[in-house]
Amino acid sequence: MTGHQYLTDEGKELQRKECLRIIISNRRVKSRMRVRARRTCPPGISIRPSSIRSGGDGAWADNDFSMFSVFGPYEGEYIDELNRRRFCPSYEDGYSWGIYKNGMLSHYIDGDDVKTSSWLRYVKCTRIAEKQNVTAYQYQGKIHFRAIKNIASGSEIVFWYEKKYAELLGVSTWESKRKGLGRHFTTN
């Protein structure tokens, strides 16, 4: 199994319930800029070395963000199912998110290239579920991240794969390490 994430439009219901929540949009930046992804950080977010071992750079909160804050959308190149094999390296590194329409895989959004992606490419997968502070969901054909708890200034923004999905991807978690399952994983 590769490192892309599959989501359904469960976010539609979440979005309606959260219409009064804070939406933190990406900063608008031209495509194809050398460091576009970093420049899309909204106020209160910065990119610094991740706290996750071998994790490269991560996204950090420089301000407090309340539970249910919505970040996004995740940006990158549109890759249809027919062309995904030609993008195999980025498809497998955790930067590609599967987008579904009517329960069927439609295409991928590949955030590997910093010239076309957004700051959300730096949101890492934590290895310990309790450290998760955002969850990813699909809404209107786009991936967003929603705070599942208050995020304090100075915290790294991280998500978590559900246990079964993590095992399918070979994501090493605290639980799987104790049982001898999985392999070392970073989203970089």
Binned at pLDDT 50, 70 and 90, residue 185 comes out as very low
Q: With beta carbons less than 8 A apart as the criterion, state whether 177 and 128 touch.
A: no
Whether 151 has a pLDDT exceeding 80, the answer reads yes
Has residue 186 been placed in a domain?
no
- Closest by CA to 129, choosing from 158, 155, 152, 160, is 160
- What local confidence, expressed as pLDDT, does residue 163 receive? 63
State in Å, rounded, how far the first CA of the chain is from the last one. Answer: 17
Q: Tens of pLDDT along 89-124?
A: 444 557 888 888 887 888 889 898 999 999 999 999
pLDDT band with cut points at 50, 70 and 90 for residue 138? confident
Q: For all residues of the chain together, what is the average pLDDT?
A: 76
pLDDT at 136: 86
**Range picked from 42-46, 143-147, 172-176 for highest mean pLDDT:** 42-46
Looking at residue 169, its pLDDT comes to 54
Domain encompassing residue 174: 5-179
In the predicted model, is pLDDT for residue 187 greater than 70?
no
pLDDT at residue 64, as a whole number = 96
For residue 188, being part of any structural domain is answered with no
Q: Determine, yes or no, domain membership for 154.
A: yes
Backbone angles phi, psi at 169, to 5 degrees: -80, -10
Query: Does 3 score more than 80 pLDDT?
Result: no
Instruction: Answer whether residue 46 shows pLDDT above 60.
Output: yes
Residue 74 domain flag? yes
Rounded mean pLDDT, 158-174: 64
Into how many domains does the chain fold?
Answer: 1
* CATH label of the domain that carries residue 163: 2.170.270.10
The strands making up 70-72's β-sheet, listed across from edge to edge, are 23-25, 70-72, 142-147, 134-139
Query: What is residue 29's predicted lDDT score, i.e. its pLDDT?
Result: 85
User: Between 182 and 155, where is the model more confident?
Assistant: 155
Does residue 187 lie in a domain region? no
